[in-house]
């Protein structure tokens, strides 16, 4: 099933926030992404309906195994691509912005080849 880029961004953000704080709520996501609360609420509804997150009665959001798999994949792509660009002299802010775009479109084959190249050449 193909997931939209925006959904990948939300899942990745939930993962990052869950690593920084004990619980994640919609307001945390809205603040992190600088999105409106209603936009985040609609997105959380769609993610919940598609089985990527659960939301308890207190509004705490958790990734399901399928949501975590997508979030982890996108986050790995983001960090690796960002680190590569920074190691080549790209400004960290620009590297992060570019990585955020590339992480959604790069194929698994190409990303795996990049990781293998980095490992084989001990670049990072």
Whether the full predicted model's pTM is greater than 0.85, yes or no, is yes
Take residue 83 and report the two structure tokens written for it: 């680190």
**pLDDT for position 1:** 53
- In the beta sheet, which residues pair with residue 54? 62
Question: Could you read off the pLDDT of 1-54 as tens digits, one per residue?
Answer: 568 999 999 999 999 999 999 999 999 999 999 999 999 999 999 999 999 999
pLDDT at 75: 97
pLDDT at 34: 96
Ramachandran sector of residue 87 (left: φ over 0; alpha: ψ -120 to 50; beta: rest): alpha
Euclidean distance between CA atoms 49 and 13, whole angstroms: 18
Residue 61's SS3 state is: strand
Per-residue pLDDT reduced to its tens digit, 50-99: 999 999 999 999 999 999 999 999 999 999 999 999 999 999 999 999 99
- pLDDT tens per residue, range 94-116: 999 999 999 999 999 999 999 99
User: Tokens representing 3?
Assistant: 């997931």
DSSP sequence for 92-111: HHHHHHHHHHHHHHS-HHHH
């Amino acid at each position: 099933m193909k997931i939209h880029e925006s959904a990948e961004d939300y899942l990745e953000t939930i993962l990052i926030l869950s690593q920084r704080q004990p619980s994640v709520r919609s307001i945390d996501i809205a603040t992190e992404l600088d999105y409106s609360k209603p936009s985040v609420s609609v997105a959380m509804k769609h993610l919940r309906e598609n089985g990527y997150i659960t939301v308890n009665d207190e509004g705490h959001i958790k990734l399901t195994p399928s949501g975590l798999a997508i979030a982890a994949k996108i986050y790995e792509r983001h960090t690796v691509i960002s680190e590569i660009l920074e190691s080549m002299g790209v400004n960290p802010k620009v590297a992060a912005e570019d990585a955020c775009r590339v992480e959604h479109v790069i194929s698994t084959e190409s990303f795996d080849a990049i990781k293998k190249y980095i490992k084989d050449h001990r670049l990072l």
